[in-house]
Amino acid sequence: MSIERYSVIDKKNPREIVLLKSSKCKWGRCTFCDYIHDNSDDIDHIIELNKEILKQVSGELNQLEIINSGSCFELPTETLKDIRDIVEEKSIETVYFESHYMYRNRLDEIRDFFNAKIIFKCGVESFDNNFRKFLNKGFQAAPEEIASYFSSICLMVGIKGQTKEMIKKDIALLEEHFERGCVNVYVDNTTDVKSDPDLIRWFEENYAYLEENPQIEVLWHNTDFGVGGENE
């Protein structure tokens, strides 16, 4: 199975979503992530592939989410210009980007580049500092501080070593401090970090109510948004 790079999310917060290629993730050390293998040093190839992906965007939902295996700041400038052209041509009102916390002081560069509302998502994964060190996220910050930069975050649940108490606290902090969030149920990949099936079953039983929350999306599988898959 190859990587799917365009999809339409038609459940909560309907929007188009594209998975673009980028240069290498500047952090690139998260212990659980193997999507960095989608990165490339061939900038010309990245630009041309991204042009083809963006041609599929219709603008029908007035919202577009851009994801890549890293942060939006690792997309080529030419790709950012192509995104801007599509946003203007299709009258897209809201664009979602992902960014590592290390870029928190550069977010206005993207906001100023686009004539649209920009919502940034940050992969926090957990608010437990020790567990975040295990995941090697590369930053320590309180939820209040993160929320001062990012209105939307991603959490991860179901990893061996994680506990029910960690998850309870993480979900509570997400609901308390952030306008939006995405909870990713961990799926085994090529890394040494493994899932905890018992913990995932517990999460399914105790947090089914999140499905009714319009501001929180739960990805039971990492391809539930219709993009992603196995690296080619």
Strands (E), 79-230: 94-98, 117-125, 152-157, 180-185, 216-219
Q: And the tokens for 77?
A: 């400038």
Q: Could you give the domains of the chain? A: 6-219 (3.20.20.70)
pLDDT tens-digit series, residues 129-177? 999 999 999 999 999 999 999 999 999 999 999 999 999 999 999 999 9
* pLDDT number for residue 1: 41
Q: How many residues does the chain have?
A: 232
CA 64 to CA 52: how far, in whole Å? 16
* pLDDT number for residue 230: 63
CB contact set of 76 (below 8 Å; sequence gap of 6+)? 22, 23, 43, 46, 47, 50
Q: Mean pLDDT for each consecutive 10-residue tract of the chain (232 residues)?
A: 88 96 94 89 97 98 96 98 98 98 98 97 96 95 97 98 98 98 96 97 97 95 87 48
pLDDT tens-digit series, residues 180-196? 999 999 999 999 999 99
- Please give the model's pTM, rounded to 2 decimal places: 0.94
CA dist list (Å): 178 to 124, 126, 215: 12, 14, 9
